[in-house]
């Protein structure tokens, strides 16, 4: 299994964390939702696997390119 970090594509705020750490995900499943300028932007799983750890919490400000989660591929 390969571990990678997932990065934010925008500067904004973590509006909602959708999954729990350790839960199984399919490719393109939403992990969290970011809010920027009243738009909701999903952060998705790059492929099947699981989130090992979140690096940010709901309500946290994030910048573009910031690591937001550690992901383990199946």
Q: What is the pLDDT of residue 23?
A: 87
How many structural domains is the chain composed of? 1
Percent of the residues in the chain that have a pLDDT greater than 70, as a whole number = 100
Backbone φ and ψ for 38, nearest 5 degrees, come out as 65, 15
Task: Supply the range of the domain harboring residue 16.
Answer: 3-73
Q: Whole-model pTM?
A: 0.91
The string of pLDDT tens digits covering residues 40-55 is 999 999 999 999 999 9
The string of pLDDT tens digits covering residues 23-39 is 899 999 999 999 999 99
Which DSSP letter does residue 9 get? S
Q: DSSP string covering 33-47, please?
A: EEEETTEEEEEE-SS
CATH classification of the domain holding 67: 2.40.50.100
Q: What is the pLDDT of residue 31?
A: 97
Q: What is the pLDDT of residue 1?
A: 77
């Amino acid at each position: 299994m390969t571990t990678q970090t997932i990065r934010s594509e925008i500067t904004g705020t973590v509006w909602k964390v959708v999954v729990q750490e350790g839960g199984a995900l399919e490719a393109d499943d939403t992990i969290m939702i970011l809010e920027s300028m009243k738009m909701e932007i999903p952060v998705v799983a790059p492929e099947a696997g699981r989130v090992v750890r979140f690096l940010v919490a709901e309500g946290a400000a994030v910048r573009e390119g910031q690591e937001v989660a550690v992901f383990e591929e199946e």
